[in-house]
Amino acid sequence: MLFSEIEKNVLNGNFDIGVLIHENRLTYAEKGLVKIADLGVLWKEHNDCALPLGCFAVKRRLQLDYKKAIEEAIRKSIIYGYEHLDEVMLYIRQHAQNMSDDVILEHIRTYVNHFSVNLGNEGTSAIRAIFRRAKHASMYNLLTEPIFID
């Protein structure tokens, strides 16, 4: 089911529970829903690292300098957005689905954070942890090539 339909289906009684993501995880209580568990908190408790929420990926066959240029463009874009938040908010409000500014800002801080600019050791450890979990669950074969740009 499309993630944006889950909350409505729980509220309508079509499902007893659902996993809410994106802005719905910030607004569910206003609609009378109750949190059973926070999967991010559970992940951190079981893995002692942050939960990887998404990623940017490029094809392995691209030249390293091209990969680094893409990475730098994304990094600069994120930094620009934070440095020009008023400008960014105007754009986001045009596309947000009934979100208050507080919810928009919390959403940004949750999903576009310091890991988005630089994974660092903590971020790369988190990604390696999710790959280990996936391998342990037989969800993929062990990668033979590095997954990070050095």
Residue 54 lies in a domain: no
Residue 86 lies in a domain: yes
Residues spanned by the domain of 132? 64-136
- Looking up residue 97, the CATH number of its domain turns out to be 3.40.190.10
Residue 145 lies in a domain: no
Q: Rounded CA gap, 124 and 145, in Å?
A: 15
Q: Report angle CA 121, 127, 128 to the nearest 5 degrees.
A: 85
Q: Are residues 132 and 69 in the same domain?
A: yes
Residue 21 lies in a domain: yes
- The structure's pTM equals 0.73
Residue 44 lies in a domain: no
Residue 47 lies in a domain: no
| Residues 112, 74 contacting (CB under 8 angstroms) | no
pLDDT digits (tens, 9 = 90+) for 91-134: 988 887 777 899 889 888 888 888 889 888 888 888 888 888 88
Residue 59 lies in a domain: no
Does residue 22 have an active-site annotation?
Answer: yes
Residue 111 lies in a domain: yes
User: Higher confidence at residue 5 or residue 144?
Assistant: 5
Q: Are residues 20 and 81 in the same domain?
A: no
Q: Are residues 70 and 132 in the same domain?
A: yes
Which pLDDT band holds residue 55 (cuts at 50, 70, 90)? Answer: confident
Q: Are residues 130 and 79 in the same domain?
A: yes
pLDDT at residue 142 greater than cutoff 70: no
123: left (phi over 0), alpha (psi -120 to 50) or beta: alpha
Task: Give how many domains the chain has, as a whole number.
Answer: 2
The one catalytic residue in 22, 84, 95, 136 is: 22
Q: Rounded CA gap, 28 and 41, in Å?
A: 17
